[in-house]
Every structure is written in structure tokens, then in C-alpha cells.
Structure 1
């Protein structure tokens, strides 16, 4: 991860990491990640085993920094035969957050992606400690995720969507809350609600709908410790739900965040239209 680059959301970064790991694994390569910016990945995710330790040491990074990055570069746009690498040392410096398993129409790509993720990662002790403070057991709730982007407040300045007027905001909030209560009833289970809108989460609290503590933010714009920890807690709590739902409408964004939370957890994912 280059400190001079602006990166997309974390799920897009994860898709790139898993895709690169798959390419390395198919070629018999060891796989390492240098991820100290925009936050330190190893604070939140740990290697699953010593034999597959993905953390790049300072010595290994120094060796890579000596390489001429203009030599031996190839373009791979995520569709077509997985590249066959030579014995040269390879490094990835530019990526788009595509899921190459899905783009290559791999049958059962969700299961394979789940397996690859869990070959690399487990929650760090720091993350587990913070999750445990909520005292919510796995598979005892449904997760409902709603991504508003800028519909309720200007959260992502680079996104073309503009906030709705006040009447439209109230109607959208009311529709979302009604659907949450409906899903709780039909699933006969308490919901934990996740969103990218702090305003909506505060309204949920007012309506006695359960949301986790903490402020949300997008890591493209805000990488402070509170925001990054909240993101990892949300992703892992979605993975721990017994079912995952994503609410959609004309003013709601088709977020990949709940989908990949469900894949990490190996849980059923459903899109629900308002």
C-alpha cells in the first residue's frame, strides 16, 4: 500500500488482496502484504498461521524497494487465464478492486473466496477484545446493512449523489425503519443494523433499533483509529450474523460491504428492495 496513493473502500482493497493471493498461490509463490498505510492492517487482522505469514518484514521490504519497478510489469484486468509468472520477484503496485474469481465466472466463487480469506486472516486479539465488549453471540441476530452514501448527509464528496430534501430524507428513513421491523418479525430475530450514515444510526437508536456504538466513516476520507476500528467491528459482526440483508432502493447504494461480510462468515445474503 503506497502512502502517496488514495485508495478505495476496504472491501475493494480486500478483493484485490484475495485476487493477488490467488494468483500467487496458483503460481506456487509465497504471498506477502505491505500494509502500513492508510492504517496498519496487522493491528486488526493477524496471519492465520506461521506457515502463511503474510506480514512483510522490514528486511524484505528493503529488498523490494531496491527493485526497478519499471521492469517486468504486466497488465491483468481480472478476466481470462490467470497469469503464469516467471521466477522473477513480483510486486503489485496498482490495482482495481475487482473480484477476479467472480469476473472469471468461477462456479462457487463465494466458497473459494471464503477459503482464501481464512487461509490468510483471523481477527487480531485487539479486534476480538473490542468485539467481545458487545456481548452478542454469533448466529443470534440478523444483520441489516443500509448504505446511503450522500442521501442523508454529504459523506463522500467525490460521489456525484447529492443529499435529498428534508421530506425525501424523512420518507426514506421511515421506509428503512419499517423494513427493519418487518424483517425482525418475519425472521423472528433481533436485528443489528449497520449503515454508513451516522445520522440514520442515531435515528435507529431513537426508535429502539439496535446499532453498535461508534461513529462510521469512509476510509478514503478518514483513517483515524476510531473509524478504522468501527469498520472492522462492523464487517466482523456482519460475518457473525445468522443471516445478512442489504436494503436497496433508488436512493440506496448497492454496497459490497454486507455481501463480503456474509462471505467471510459463510452466511446467507439477501437483497431486500424497499
Structure 2
């Protein structure tokens, strides 16, 4: 236990040192003109996938709204976010040459995977004027405990739509796909199928893969028959998508799944664009079914897509 605490403390100090070295080039003694929160995705630290990043952005936009702070997003790694999502009603875009680091008026907040905190209270109680934030959690339930689940989802959807609109590139790609009513299936395998690099390492045996694929196909076909609508399947596994294409008439969207946290140093915009296309395709479906049959992994990707689209989300578990 003590060893774990020491390791955590050392990790925290190393991250702080990394931040100080990175922001030293933005040093200034000029007083900030206004209170500012900047949520950063600059390649210094892993954040997770698309939805994890959106959670961090929306959470701190809500903090900025509550406390009257100006709000910006620095998102230029592994690609420039504005290529797919542009500012809508809030001018959140900021470039690195606009950053300023004051030794007493600026503060770092590293909250990646930190579930046990309330950022609203942290910023409210701080004397700093500018906050550089690294975060990937939806803190709405913590910050607004009196709101119901439906109210929290509505607030999240409103915040997202206030911040973002689809770029012409993303809109064009989405418009090229059939828009007739459909249902959506989503699954997350990470490394289980042996075709995806992620933070997990477990790979199923060939026999286990075959059994799971057959079980998933049966589940999909049953639900599809009950709905009597065309269906799309979305997944992080190319092997799963190929299997579905070979054994059913379920539709898929062209392109290979790709993780936004850049595990292989790949900043190819086409791969990341596919992630956004999947996200908004799921959001526009009539119903969203998340397949979570053991030993598959949980994911909030399709859940937040359903929130954006205000569509019904159903979890299929075993």
C-alpha cells in the first residue's frame, strides 16, 4: 500500500516537472486580463479516446460557465480538432503562440482518470487566474448533484452543441452515407480479437474468438428482427466487422477503426475522421445497442453518441 502511494506521488511529481518544462517557454510576468480555463490535448499525456476528450472539454466548459471564466481548447495532437469539429457559439480555439504562463497567476490541473475530485470547487477556491487543464472525465454528476440523469444528459448535450459544429469535411462525409432510419450496434474489444493496439493486452484463443463472434451475431440478428429496420455495426475490431459483413446483411461504414490516443504514432486524419463518422452515425440512429458480452470491455462511446442524438440507449449484456 505504501509502495503504491509512493509510486503515485512520484508519478505526480514527474508530470509536474514535465508541465513546468513545457510551459517555461510561455513565461510572462504580465498580469492576465481575464480569468481563463484552457483544456489541453497537446501530446504531453495520454487522454484516452474521443469521448474521454469530449468529457474533459464539456466538464470544464460547464465549470467556466458557472464561474464566469473565458474558455479555450488547445487540441492539436494527434491532429487539429477543427478539421472535424469547429467552434459553434463559443470561440474556444486557441493556438500555442497565444499561451501565457505566469508563475503565480497560472496553475496546472492534471486530472486524467481522476474520478475523486470536484473541479468546480478546485477552481472556485483557487487564487489563480489561468488554468491549464488535462482531463478526461465527465464531472457533471459531481458538480450538479441535484440534477437527475435526464437533466444531466440534457445539460451535456446542450453544452456540446453550444461548443461544436461539424466541419465541412465531416458533414460532407456523413452526407455521403444513407440517411434512411436505422438502428446501431456498438462493441468494444480492445485487444481481445488480436487486431487492435490498446492499453489492454489480453487476446482470446481462436476457439474463444469464434464462440464470441457467433454469440454476437446471433444477438444482433435477433434484435434486428425485432426492430425490422436496417442496422449498422460499429466497433474497434476490424476482425469483428469483417465477420459481420461476411455472415449477415448488417451494414458497416467504410474505413478502419482507430484509437485517438495515438498508440502507434499515427496522426492520419482519415483514421480519426472514421471515429467521428462512427460517433455521429450512432447519434443519428433510432436506437443504440451496446454489445457487452463477457469478456468484452465497457465503453462510453456509444452512450455519449446517444446523448448527443437524444436517442434510446440499450445495453445488451451476458
**Runs of 4+ more than 6 Å apart:** none
Q: Secondary structure at the match of 1:271?
A: strand
1:114 aligns with 2:161: no
1:99 aligns with 2:138: yes
Q: In structure 2, what is the equivalent of residue 166 of structure 1?
A: 206
Task: Please give the residue correspondences for 1:92-241 in structure 2 after superposition, counting only pairs within 5 Å.
Answer: 92-95=132-135, 97-104=136-143, 105=145, 106-107=147-148, 108-137=151-180, 140-160=181-201, 162-207=202-247, 208-220=249-261, 221=263, 222-241=266-285
Q: Secondary structure at the match of 2:43?
A: coil
CA shift digits 1:104-157 (9 cap, x unpaired): 4442211111111011011111100011111224xx001110111111115235
Shift of 1:87: 7.9
CA shift digits 1:146-182 (9 cap, x unpaired): 111111115235314x111111101100111111111
Taking structure 1 as reference, are residues 81 and 94 closer, same or farther at Cα in structure 2, changes over 3 Å only?
closer
**What TM-score do the two structures reach when normalised by structure 2?**
0.77
- 8 A Cα contact 1:192 1:211, kept in partner: yes
Task: Please give the residue correspondences for 1:42-61 in structure 2 after superposition, counting only pairs within 5 Å.
Answer: 42-49=82-89, 52-56=90-94, 58=95, 61=96
Q: In structure 2, what is the equivalent of residue 251 of structure 1?
A: 295
Q: In structure 2, what is the equivalent of residue 2 of structure 1?
A: 42
Taking structure 1 as reference, are residues 198 and 114 closer, same or farther at Cα in structure 2, changes over 3 Å only?
same
Bigger share in strand? 2
CA distance in 1, matches of 2:108, 2:240: 45
What RMSD in Å do the two structures reach over aligned CA positions?
A: 2.2
Structure 1, gaps ≥5 residues long: none
CA distance in 2, matches of 1:11, 1:75: 18
Taking structure 1 as reference, are residues 224 and 73 closer, same or farther at Cα in structure 2, changes over 3 Å only?
closer
CA distance in 2, matches of 1:152, 1:75: 33
CA distance in 2, matches of 1:166, 1:150: 13
**What TM-score do the two structures reach when normalised by structure 1?**
0.89
Shift of 1:190: 1.3
Q: In structure 1, what is the equivalent of residue 97 of structure 2?
A: 62
Shift of 1:240: 0.6
Match of 1:12 among 22, 27, 52: 52
- 8 A Cα contact 1:154 1:163, kept in partner: no
